[in-house]
Structure 1
């Protein structure tokens, strides 16, 4: 088993770049995962692991053997190296390098004949994306689609804030035009969360194939979504403002759809 004790090791420097730089993740097609739960979910989500790194004072050989039965390149690292690579304040002592998925629309496969899809257009903050993915996992939606993404899905902040749900969801990226064409080709109704020409969300029939579309908190959805919407929907509010956090809005809308489908 290989060991690394110095933070000056070229492998360590490369892994720091992989953690911190989107362009490095795109160039290599790999990303860094931190934590036992997240690695376990990645394995369950059929991600290919390239390397596992562990600090034996925090993560034992027995734990490592229980984590996966795959033959994976394994590296024992020192405390200094682990602290250099770890992104979170909590310490579990294990990290992994995994291969990214392409996350294309053409790769989406629906298990349901009446799929329920959550679409988020250009979410700005990794924390919001992570929260949306947690909501989608909790509701067991058929897919999450990110339109015009502003960061890659394997940003460590997304992995952390999603608590690994980036690996449990059926996810795709695409441009707004591509996604609208895809939804229409699948005969999926498009419900846009918007203020204009909208009706109360609970008045709609979400039992049929449905995509719930939410936009950014700052600007909402782009005009092309509103032009192609089957129906704009709104969450009635009683306060002074007319918007809420995008992940909260997504949760309200998705769980109403689940309620109608008899899952609540």
Structure 2
């Protein structure tokens, strides 16, 4: 591998900056930058046209031929070798391929969204807090190739390292928009989406509904469900019948069941 600039001091300003990007949502928001880790995640971010400002690699760990070919496409001055100690300071995971990067976040406001198909399918998640749940929702969205994911009243920034990790990079591959509940409801109504809210009250069984038009599937948190604002603007509340002792499932599992029913209907034209 080419001889790149090497950093072994934790006091280096760039390393200090990278640590802040890993640990502090406020720093990510202020700078518009974030730290990502892993060869697959970096590859997905590059494919999704994220701007990569710096790549760090640890030669003691990084021996992947795919990674070597990836590095060849980057300017030498953007690639920095780091010591094992520095890498451990920056890395978020115990098992890793020895590569990290600083990247520039994208604009996730609703105003930048346009669909190029007549009946788009969107997943809306209101106020999800757990990065693991957000990551799982994004993986579900990727599996179903959804047209977009909207996060209403977000509690966690999208570039939290735990979201990047739990989404396995799907946070980069999907179209994700954020906004207040009211902003998103207004957008969906303006664009004539059917708003189908997963809820326990005033609900119809999810398989009984026609989803062949523009469709938004809306899910809330497992603990609180959806706010009244969503329920009062719902085209129809929908429910997945439960046959066991409990009346709820993990939000990403529920979302997957609902989304793939919509996909099935849209494929068949109901």
TM-score (norm 2): 0.94
- The question of whether the paired residues in 2 share the 8 Å contact of 1:112 and 1:142 is answered with no
SS in 2 for 1:163: coil
User: What's 1:164 paired with?
Assistant: 169
Q: Is 1:210–2:215 an aligned residue pair? A: yes
Whether contact under 8 Å (2:196, 2:215) holds in the other structure is: yes
1:50 pairs with one of 47, 50, 53: 53
Post-superposition, which runs of at least 4 consecutive aligned residues in structure 1 deviate over 4 A?
Answer: 60-65
Matches within 5 A, 1:8-19: 8-19=11-22
CA contact (8 A) 2:39 2:67 kept: no
1:221-260 counterparts in 2 under 5 A? 221-260=226-265
Report the counterpart of residue 151 of structure 1 in structure 2.
156
SS at match of 2:171: coil
1:4 aligns with 2:23: no
Query: Could you tell me how far 1:10 is from its partner in structure 2?
Result: 2.4
After superposition, give the CA deviation of every residue in 1:109-140 in whole Å (9 maximum; x if it has no partner).
22321000000000120000000000000000
Q: Which residue of 2 aligns with 1:30?
A: 33
Structure 2 Cα separation of the partners of residues 202 and 150 of structure 1: 31
Q: Are residue 181 (structure 1) and residue 186 (structure 2) matched?
A: yes
Q: CA RMSD in A?
A: 1.4
CA deviation digits over 1:13-38, x for unaligned, max 9?
A: 22111101000000110000100000
Residues matched between the structures, number: 263
Structure 1 residues 219-243: Cα deviation after superposition (integer angstroms, max 9, x where no partner): 1000010110000000000122211
Distance 2:173 2:29 in 1: 21
Work out the CA distance in 2 between the residues paired with 1:113 and 1:29: 33
Output one character per residue of 1:161-196: Cα deviation in whole Å (capped at 9) or x when no partner.
000000010100000000000001111110000111
* 2: CA distance, partners of 1:231 / 1:78: 56
SS at match of 1:80: helix
Structure 2 unaligned blocks of 5 or more: none
CA contact (8 A) 1:114 1:208 kept: yes
- The match for 1:114 is 119
Alpha carbons 1:158, 1:166 under 8 Å: kept: yes
User: Which consecutive residues of structure 1, in runs of 5 or more, have no partner in the other structure?
Assistant: none
Task: Please give the alpha-carbon distance, in whole angstroms, between the structure 2 residues aligned to 1:252 and 1:86.
Answer: 34
Contact 1:36 1:67 in 2 (8 A): no
What TM-score do the two structures reach when normalised by structure 1? Answer: 0.96
| Distance apart, 1:7 and its partner CA | 2.1
User: CA separation in 2, counterparts of 1:85 and 1:63?
Assistant: 22
